[in-house]
Structure formats: structure tokens, C-alpha cells
Structure 1
Amino acid sequence: MDSITIRQAAYYHPERVVHNDFYLNHFNSMGKDIERFLQVMGRERRYIADSEEENAFTMGLKAAQKVLLEAGLTGEDMDMIVFVSQTPEYTYPTNALLLHHKLQGKHRTITMDSNANCAGMVTSVEQTSRYMQSNPHVRYALVVGCDHSSIHCNPDDEITYPNFGDAAAAVILERSTDESKGFVDSLFYIDSEGSGNITFPACGLSNIYSKDVTPEQLRIRWIPFDGTVCVDAAINDIQELLARHELTIEDISAFCLSQFSLKNIELIQSGLAAPQEKFIYVGDEFGYTGTSSPFIAFQRGVEDGVIKRGDYVFFWSVGAGWQIPTMLFRY
């Protein structure tokens, strides 16, 4: 069977940088001290899209153009284009179709949008890899993930407003006859008990035109919960995949996990008894970018030389509710 490999990855972020001081002062004026919260989440700065011309689609497009250029490929080479977002600029036409148009894709291209909330890009890379394994006519697939979350946060909410940053990531998957690398395996863990904790828009899409809807009800509603509930699932699923493929922690070069919480990453690291240097963290620079965050961490690991060709890499993320994918790749 052919392998499905990562040919190239890239990311894009807006130019504007917002440091913690802005949010500390903002919430201090409301009588709220969020300093400890920012420490637990691991935040220092984040990139914020503040231009009317910049949104989830345009940021995703820039990441796509960058990854194609660096891979030496064009839009016409892509046999499949998947756009991943929980804050899409449009619900129709699909953002993947718009991406196809901007990249001048060919007629024989599969296009689709995908949404698994913050777990979306890990899920879509996994699903695209498995689809490519079953369809020999797909040689190259482009998966682009971007959330424009900052604009949808309630400025009075100390959980979401200082936590999110805006950025996009793009990955080109390639069919290869080299069986020594590529997609290895994956697991999904679903627990829907908390499915009502995070909603957007808070009022529901069918109510956005109601005269009684307030601006706050159009934004993200985040009911506080224990964010560490996903840690045990992460540890168990990573260990199960290791056992399934007769690997050990020592065989894994990097863990590219959701950048939602530094505390969660530290707990997963401790639970696996793995070296800290194997866990790539970029949430202090980017803030929490949602669906793109594991792949921004991955590409930063490649750029810094932490991840090299032939290395085993774990991808893991968690989406609202909970949707928890764990994926093992050999880069």
C-alpha cells in the first residue's frame, strides 16, 4: 500500500502583536485579575487580525500560497482541497471552492469544507490520509486550517478574549511508494457530555436576525469547565497507539498537541513520563489559534530542527464537547 506523507507544511499569522499587558489592564478595569489564568494557559503574546480585509479565508489562502510555493507545486497539482474552520467566512460557497478558484485549481479536484471545532485540522488530515489510501487517483491533497476567533470573543469574557490568537496553517499530503514514512494510525475518543459548554453563535444560527438578540448572544458563549478532563484520554490513546505499533516514548521525536493550555501539555507529558523537550509549545507566541495550533507547532518543530525526516510525530487535539483525535505520523 502507498504511504500518505507530509510533503510540506506552512503557517501564516497577522502582523499585529498584542501582549498580556493589554488584557491584564483591560480586565483590571473591571475588577478582574487574570494574571494567574494567563500563566496557566501559557500566554505571553498573540497575533490578532485587525483589518477588515483579513479573515479566516484570507489567512488560510496566504498559508496555502506559502505552502505551495515552498513545496514547488501549484494549485493545479492539487487533487483534493480541504478547508477547515469553526469560524468560516462563508457557509456557502464553501471556502475550499473559493480557495480552489484563487489557486487556479483544475476541474478534477475534490473540494470540501470541514469542521470538528478545535480538533478540526488533526481530524481532517487524518480523514484525508485515509481517503487517499483508498483512492489511488489522489496524489496531492491540500488541507488548510484557520480560525478567526478573536473577533467573535466577548470582550467581557476573561476566558476567551485574552486567550485566542488568529493564524492559519496548511499541509500538503502526498502519495508515496516509500513505506518507511507517512500516516501510521489514529484513534478518536468522543465524550459528548460537555457538548453544551461552548456554543457559537450563542443564540444559535436560526436566531441571529431576531430583534431580541444582544451582541453578546452573537458571540462565543463559554461556560467554565475543568479543561483537564481531556488529559487522561490523551495519555491513554497515545499509549494505545504506541503499543499497537510496538513503539515506545523513546521512538517518538515530537508531540504536536493542542496549544489551548500549557497546563494540559505539562500534565500529558508527566502522565507519559516523556522528556519536556519533545513537546513543542508555541502558545506563548501565537496565543490559542484553535484548529491550526498542532500544525503550527509541527512546522515550528521542523524549522527549529526538532523534527526531521523519518521521525515519528504525534498529533493530538481536542474539540468542544469533546472530540479528541490522536494521530501518529512518520515524517
Structure 2
Amino acid sequence: MKQGYLSNIRIKGIEIYYPEDFDYVDDIITKYKEQGIDIELELKDSLGKNIVHHIKSKDENTLTMAVKAAKKVLDSTGLTGKDLDQIALATLSPEYILPATARLIHTMVEGKEEAFCYDINANCSGMLFSMNQIAAQMQSSDSLHYVMLIGSDSPSIHMRNDQYISKSILGDSACAIILEKTDTDSSILDHKFLCNYTHPLSVACGPCCGLSHIHEAPIEDQKIILGKAPIQTEVISTHIQEVLARNNLTVDDISLFCFSQYSKSLLNKLAKKLEISMDKVIYNGDKYGYTGVTCTFIALYDAIQEKKIKRGDYVFFWTFGSGVEMVFTLMRY
């Protein structure tokens, strides 16, 4: 077995938070049908959503959700804010850009003075991308022992009103993990990043007007547009097989596949292409909605809660951001 250069960095703990408020997809479909807009086929049959959790309270946002997830994972791991050497927040909807929202989380969990805090935006792939980057940094640093990585987004608030599908399926959520150095065989083994040649603004744009015009643009032009992601299962499958092969593994060695929760039909096609059972593929978009940056980690969380994996099992992650950038990650949980 090839030892990845990211070995000996593992997920010590993981917790999630999502708003109590939710919408039934059937009610969303009915609401739009009354306006003469039929989204049933794509929303339910293709994307496979049943309920979607949305922020409805003015007191809840990306920051408050992140703090709740952060405090939960500190409690479950027996750590405190003073144990954290770094706090990173992956989000496309930070509550503040000055200071970094992660810096505010640091204050609310009573972090130590020596910790560094920052936000990162790689769209829906941001949390998985960040985990790989942080693990590499931890591997090369003597001063990083515990790092908290949080994904938190409230995309439903920021979508244009004419984005019927996106506004309906996007669920608001937060997920927090603690990465730690370990002497066990649990490790982040390998990863691959990929950008396709599609022009990014042809797939997603937000704010539509661009930040330089946000103070003069109409409200709807300050929001986000999402197009149809150019996702090809052939491409995804090829890169998954490549990462596995260079680690002397096959799909049969993988206990769990945590893929993007964007579409149930996409996961079915990908499982068929890889010739794996759907029993190995977590799909929970029907109970949370598509939660974007947190979706692969909420899939991992559910698998742990349902005892579908144990320490030492191989897990493979794949997700995409705005349809134009992908992250593949092999981990031994």
C-alpha cells in the first residue's frame, strides 16, 4: 500500500447543524404550479429531494450555524477552543468579510491567542478542498496539532427569485470537523483537483452584478444565478479509478463513497459506471436538501451515526463547485 504524504492526519470528530425550519418539496412544487411553473420532474424525480431545511429566522445565518456546529464538535471530542491551533471556515456566504467570519467563530468558542483564523471560498467544493490543504499544512508543521474546519452556508437566502430549482433544493447547514495528528493508520491518503474548460460565469454567477457594482445594482442583481452543471459520470469515474489505482486499491476496497448530494439520479449513474452497489453510496439529499459545501461531510456524519463505517475503513469523497471544479479524496477513516 502506497503511503500518502498526508498520512497520520485524521478526522477526530464531526458534528452538524441545520435549521429546524424546513419546506416539503411537494409544497414547493404546488406553489410553483400555481404560478404556472412546473418543476416536479427535475426537483423530485431527478434530484430526489423530499424536504429542504431553510433559514427562516432573522437571527440565524452562516455565522450562527457555524458556531453551533463548532461548539457541538468541541463537546463531543472533549476539546476546548484553547486546544485549537487554527480555525478555517469554508463558505460562499460569509456573514462578514471584515473581519473574517472564522475570526468571529474564534471569539465565540474562546480560542487561544496563538490560533490563526481564515475563510476560504471554493464554492461547494470548499470544505473538501480545505481539508486536503489543511492536512498538508499540518503534516509539515510542528505547531499544528488540532485544526477545526467548518463548512457553513445559507445559499437559499442569496438566490435570485427566478432561480426556481436552485432556490428550492439548496439547504442551509453547517458541519464542523476536528483534524488531528495521529499515530494510528487513519489518514488522508491522496487527493486530486480538477478544473474543466467551461467558462465559470456561464455556469454560475454571484453576485450577478459583480462586487464592484453591488451598491448601485437592483436587489435581484445582487443575488446568485446557477446554471446547469456540466457533470459527466465518465470523467468522474475515470479520475476516481486513477486515484484508487495509484494507491493500489479498487472500488471493492472502499467501504463508503461520499459523493456530492446534488442529484440522486447522478449518484445512481455514477454507481452504475463504477459497478458498485448503492449500499456503499450515501444519499441524504432527500432529508436535508442539497447543502453544497457541507454535503459530503454530512454524508460521512450520517454513515458514522448509522455505523456504516468504522475506524480503518477506506472512504472516497468526490464533489464539485459550480460545476467547473472537482475534488477527489481518498481517506482511511
Scaled by the length of structure 2, the TM-score of the pair is 0.95
Does 1:217 pair with 2:221? yes
Show the counterpart of 1:328. 330
- In structure 1, distance between residues paired with 2:200 and 2:149: 26
- In structure 2, distance between residues paired with 1:307 and 1:22: 35
- In structure 2, distance between residues paired with 1:228 and 1:209: 32
The one-letter amino acid paired with 1:183 is I
The Cα RMSD (Å) is 1.3
Equivalent pairs: percent with the same residue? 37
Show the counterpart of 2:260. 258
The one-letter amino acid paired with 1:200 is G
Deviation at 1:230, TM superposition (A): 4.2
Runs (5+) with no aligned partner, structure 1: none
The one-letter amino acid paired with 1:176 is T
Deviation at 1:320, TM superposition (A): 1.3
Does 1:157 pair with 2:163? yes
Deviation at 1:201, TM superposition (A): 0.9
2:259–2:319 Cα contact (<8 Å) kept: yes
- In structure 2, distance between residues paired with 1:287 and 1:105: 32
Show the counterpart of 2:317. 315
The one-letter amino acid paired with 1:232 is E
Deviation at 1:214, TM superposition (A): 2.4
Show the counterpart of 2:8. 3
Q: 1:51 to 1:192 in 2, by over 3 A?
A: farther
Show the counterpart of 1:16. 21
2:231–2:323 Cα contact (<8 Å) kept: no
1:121–1:291 Cα contact (<8 Å) kept: yes
**Structure 1 stretch 139-148 or stretch 106-115: which is displaced more?**
106-115
Q: Deviations over 1:148-192 (max 9, x none)?
A: 0111122332221111111110110010122x2111010011114
- Structure 1 runs of 4+ with >6 Å offset: none
Q: 1:306 to 1:283 in 2, by over 3 A?
A: same
- Following superposition of structure 1 onto structure 2, how do residues 40-189 of structure 1 map, counting pairs within 5 Å? 40-178=46-184, 180-189=185-194
Show the counterpart of 1:193. 198
Q: Deviations over 1:273-308 (max 9, x none)?
A: 011111001100000111011000100000001121
Deviation at 1:220, TM superposition (A): 1.1
1:76–1:105 Cα contact (<8 Å) kept: yes
Deviation at 1:108, TM superposition (A): 1.3
1:241 to 240, 243, 247: 243
Deviation at 1:21, TM superposition (A): 2.1
Q: Deviations over 1:193-232 (max 9, x none)?
A: 230121111111111111xx22221111123x3x352433
